[in-house]
Amino acid sequence: MGDERLARPSTLLGEHDTERAEVAARRRRRTAVLTAGSVALVAVLALSATAAVLHRPAPAPPAGPPSSVAPTPSATPSADPTPVLATKADASEPDARVMTDETWDEVGPGWALTLFSTMSVVVSEDDNYGHFDPAGVQALFLVAPDATTYRLLTLPADTDAEAQVMWWDPERRKAWLFLQGLGESWGQLEVDLVTGSQTPLTFGPSDVRQDPAPVRQMPDGRVLWADNDPLFSASVGGLYWQATDGAFTTIVGPGVIEGDVWLDPSTPRAAYLAPDAAGDYSLVSYDLTKGSTGTRPLGAPSVDRHRCSVADVEAPSVFVTCTTYDAIGLHQYEVTAAGEWREATEDHTSPSTIQWMLGCGTPDVLWSTNGRELSGALAAQGWRDALILPTTPGGPLPVPNRGGACGE
């Protein structure tokens, strides 16, 4: 996405008086991606062929007494049935077996959901950004730990966007994809990896547009998601749990969080600023393990600010960055335990905020708009994207995110 990606955490609070109108305009421009991608797709799965097993008739017993000589073994042992290969949508696809229910039952840690793609951009004078070649193919595969490959399905040709794997669940047999169109168009989809059906991914009513992004998996298997615009640094729109059965529940909904969300690197908690009707702020801390919430009143700075965001938490101090309506721009404050707002003497912008991590591609989050760093066998096979399930839920991801242009 080029220059539209996040450059530094401090840009999360850019001076935009009409930010909500800008967000709405950008989100309207992505409807083409979701509209084209919302039709049901059918998995391209070849039918398994049934091998006929030949039986030779047993020889008649000898007329005389049994011989003491041992029978001679066959010089040509029986071979295992040849695996049935899936039909290819493109000749350059790797050879892959047909996926079966029996194989699905074996899928788990160490397996990779991979994306094959021949998508390319065609530049024309009529388009500002060009368009994707309609002959391009995108397909999803599963790769076992022993490198055995299985073909799942082909994504529809009219999606007109490049897909990325955000997250997938072998128990639910579903995947959640990010679709990056050209220019400022994008979308998110839930795909059934068995039937191929797809639906727009949202946390709530379909008429309320959101930008789901998976952030972190917990040891109990739950996944923390955030509503975060991938192109425009507005406030985080909400936090949500995805349970192990795939259902989403709300931690904090739209309109509550101002600015970014800080994830404690040492303990499983999230913290954010919540403004009240009087314009004062509270630091809300949410325990990701226990589900409990704590609130600390902070007051407010004396400047006529546009928007504030938590930058870091270094107990007992909280560091807050605010944008203002004047030409000075950014202010960063240290809020003391006594509630005093002091101008910070140095930058305390933390790399542990959700928008920073999602935009910069740090290894602390499940997905990033920058994609993933493929190496070894995955790179050799030519996959466009791959997500290997960790050894244990919440464990380190075997394939790290690709870093962006964010400085330290």
**Is residue 188 a contact partner of residue 176, using CB atoms and an 8 Å limit?**
yes
State CA 31 to chain mean position distance.
20
**Is residue 155 a contact partner of residue 374, using CB atoms and an 8 Å limit?**
no
**How many domains are contained in the chain?**
1
Peptide bond into 9 cis (omega under 30): no
When pLDDT is cut at 50, 70 and 90, the band that residue 229 belongs to is confident
Per the listing, tokens 């007494």 go with: 65
Show the tokens assigned to 207.
């008429």
Q: How many residues does the chain have?
A: 408
When pLDDT is cut at 50, 70 and 90, the band that residue 259 belongs to is very high
402 occurs within a structural domain: no
**In this predicted model, which residue has the larger pLDDT, 403 or 386?**
386
User: Would you state the pLDDT for residue 53?
Assistant: 37
User: Would you state the pLDDT for residue 16?
Assistant: 39
Which backbone phi and psi does 24 adopt, to 5 degrees? Answer: -60, -40
User: Would you state the pLDDT for residue 194?
Assistant: 98
User: Would you state the pLDDT for residue 206?
Assistant: 55
% pLDDT > 90, the chain: 56
When pLDDT is cut at 50, 70 and 90, the band that residue 5 belongs to is very low
Partners of 341 in the beta sheet?
Answer: 335
Nearest to 142 by CA among 402, 389, 395: 389
**For residue 214, pLDDT beyond 80:** yes
**Is residue 251 a contact partner of residue 238, using CB atoms and an 8 Å limit?**
yes
Mean pLDDT of 77-95: 83
Q: Is 161 left (phi over 0), alpha (psi -120 to 50) or beta?
A: beta
**For residue 13, pLDDT beyond 60:** no
Give the Cα separation of 216 and 395 in Å (integer): 10
Beta strands in 103-193 (DSSP E): 112-117, 121-122, 131-132, 138-143, 149-154, 162-169, 174-180, 186-192
Nearest to 269 by CA among 300, 313, 335: 313
**Is residue 359 a contact partner of residue 6, using CB atoms and an 8 Å limit?**
yes
User: Would you state the pLDDT for residue 326?
Assistant: 67
The three-state secondary structure class of 38 is coil
Question: What is the residue range of 263's domain?
Answer: 2-45+84-388
Peptide bond into 316 cis (omega under 30): yes
**Is residue 236 a contact partner of residue 260, using CB atoms and an 8 Å limit?**
yes
220 occurs within a structural domain: yes
When pLDDT is cut at 50, 70 and 90, the band that residue 241 belongs to is very high
Report the chain's mean pLDDT, rounded to a whole number. Answer: 81
Q: With 0-12 CB in 10 A as exposed, 13-18 as middle and 19+ as buried, what is 264? A: middle
Give the Cα separation of 12 and 358 in Å (integer): 12
User: Would you state the pLDDT for residue 403?
Assistant: 80
60 occurs within a structural domain: no
Among 7-21, 163-177, 315-329, 380-394, the range scoring the smallest mean pLDDT is: 7-21
343 occurs within a structural domain: yes
**For residue 303, pLDDT beyond 50:** yes
**Is residue 139 a contact partner of residue 89, using CB atoms and an 8 Å limit?**
yes
User: Would you state the pLDDT for residue 63?
Assistant: 52
Nearest to 38 by CA among 184, 202, 213, 168: 202
User: Would you state the pLDDT for residue 344?
Assistant: 95
Give the Cα separation of 21 and 378 in Å (integer): 42
Give the Cα separation of 362 and 151 in Å (integer): 30
366 occurs within a structural domain: yes
**For residue 110, pLDDT beyond 90:** yes
Mean pLDDT of 106-112: 96
61 occurs within a structural domain: no
Cα-Cα-Cα-Cα dihedral sign, residues 58, 61, 67, 68 = positive
**For residue 73, pLDDT beyond 50:** no
When pLDDT is cut at 50, 70 and 90, the band that residue 286 belongs to is very high
321 occurs within a structural domain: yes
**For residue 19, pLDDT beyond 60:** no
Among 28-32, 61-65, 264-268, the range scoring the smallest mean pLDDT is: 28-32
**In this predicted model, which residue has the larger pLDDT, 35 or 161?**
161
Nearest to 9 by CA among 312, 225, 224, 334: 312
User: Would you state the pLDDT for residue 202?
Assistant: 84
Show the tokens assigned to 345.
């003497």
User: Would you state the pLDDT for residue 209?
Assistant: 63
Show the tokens assigned to 77.
């042992």
Among 80-94, 158-172, 374-388, 394-408, the range scoring the smallest mean pLDDT is: 394-408
**For residue 290, pLDDT beyond 60:** yes
Instruction: Please report, in angstroms and rounded to a whole number, the separation of the first and last CA atoms in the chain.
Output: 20
- Residues 193-209 pLDDT 10s: 999 999 988 886 555 56
Per the listing, tokens 């615009």 go with: 229
- Supply the pTM of this predicted model: 0.79
Distances (CA, A) of 227 to 19, 138, 203, 238: 16, 26, 8, 5
Per the listing, tokens 């000589």 go with: 69
**Is residue 7 a contact partner of residue 406, using CB atoms and an 8 Å limit?**
yes
